[in-house]
Amino acid sequence: MSDLFLGAPHQEHHEAPPPSRRSRRDDKEHQAKQRKHRRRRSVVVLVLALALVGGAAFVVWSVVGGLFTGGSAEETVQDYPGPGSGEVQVTVASGDTGVAIGQTLHDAGVVATVKAFTDAYAANPGATSIQPGTYALQLEMRAADAVNALLDEANRVSSRVTIPEGYTAAQVYQRIYEVTTIPVEDLQAAAADPAAIGLPAEANGNVEGWLFPSTYEVEPGTTAAGLLSQMVAQTTSQLTSKGVPQDRWEDVLIRASIIEREAKHDEDRPKMARAIQNRLDIAMPLQIDAIVAYGLGKSGTELTYADTKDAQPPYNPYNVYKLPGLPPTPIASPGGASIDAVLNPAEGDWLFWVTVNLDTGETKFASTFDEHQEYRDELRAWQEANG
């Protein structure tokens, strides 16, 4: 009966004894060690992960970093050890500073940094005398060597041609050919194309008088048209800067070219400008030998008395003994002093001038023909005394 109410037969249960204090302490120490081990492992994993990320970032920056900074690993080099190798041509422009030259050389691969060059430039007392032009230099030069190379004319590959005052166009062509080897025929062809050289309409297609006398840098590859256009541009710049109205350009150049061929000293130029104007004012023929000689393709010393008479056709259009007024074109390339003389003639009533000493260029001016004859006699006496 008791089984029905009490369920299944009674089973004996044995409960585990409660853990001792030592066991609990051992468990706690074990758990602490596991937590410490897990923390240590996490730190190691984190360090390894950071190292991997940092390494990957360095690789990426090494490859593409220059795209953002514009530089490269080579820029850490402040100056090449030299002596350099290969060859490259670089151009120093007129007015370039040390910094500008340094940038040009750096861009061409000549120097490692602009700073290396500017430091060497500042340390070299002669650096400020570096001239404009194109130079043949080596790649990866020491900055100090690059400065010295630019000071050495032997490294210049451009030509420097100087055109004296009073040269005719034919003389200009010959001088250019002698210095640059640009053929005379190429220069003549360029001059025959006014548009190609920027010749103003006032010149009426004739380049005579428009090739300004100066020194020009002729870079490798410069064409005949390119060089002549520089000379024409210099002439128009001179006239413009002096305030000459464009419709007077040709007239001023004609007068200035006559003075350029006749005057020996600057102080005589304004007097000649006044004498020319005085003759034109009274419709008196100019009777200037240099003009007649130009028309005949002669030098003034070759001119004869018969040349001035011009008795038979074809008549010389530059024979100002017979024809009134100015010649049809300039007779040479005038310089700035002769142009200034035309724009600012001296005050006086002179009609004549004659050089009485061909060695010193002493020139005397006269207002009357009789006075002029006296000065001509003085010239003849000097010629006899000097053979």
Q: 138 — phi, psi (to 5°)?
A: -95, 160
Q: 26 — phi, psi (to 5°)?
A: -65, -40
Q: Is it the case that residue 138 has pLDDT exceeding 60?
A: yes
Q: 159 — phi, psi (to 5°)?
A: -105, 150
Q: How far apart are CA 157 and CA 154, in angstroms?
A: 8
pLDDT tens-digit readout, 48-77: 555 555 555 544 444 444 444 444 444 456
Q: Would you list the domain boundaries of the chain? A: 85-155, 159-242, 246-386
Question: Coil, strand, or helix at residue 313?
Answer: coil
Domain 85-155 sits in CATH at 3.30.1490.480
pLDDT tens-digit readout, 257-297: 999 999 999 999 999 999 999 999 999 999 999 999 999 88
pLDDT tens-digit readout, 199-213: 999 999 999 999 999
46-84 burial, b for 16+ CB within 10 Å, e for fewer?
Answer: eeeeeeeeeeeeeeeeeeeeeeeeeeeeeeeeebbeeeb
pLDDT of residue 29: 57
pLDDT tens-digit readout, 80-112: 988 888 999 898 887 899 999 999 999 999 999
Rg of the Cα atoms in the chain = 45
pLDDT tens-digit readout, 225-252: 999 999 999 999 999 999 999 999 999 9
With a CB cutoff of 8 Å and minimum separation 6, the contacts of 135 are: 89, 90, 91, 92, 149, 150, 155, 156, 157
Q: How far apart are CA 199 and CA 369, in angstroms?
A: 41
Q: Do residues 137 and 87 touch, judged by C-beta distance below 8 A?
A: yes
CA within 13 Å, CB half, 384:
6
| Full-model pTM | 0.69
Task: List 357's β-bridge partners, or say none.
Answer: 362
Counting beta carbons within 10 angstroms of the beta carbon of residue 196, is it exposed (0 to 12), middle (13 to 18) or buried (19 or more)?
middle
Q: 217 — phi, psi (to 5°)?
A: -90, 120
Selection from 160, 282, 303, 277 nearest residue 220 by Cα: 160
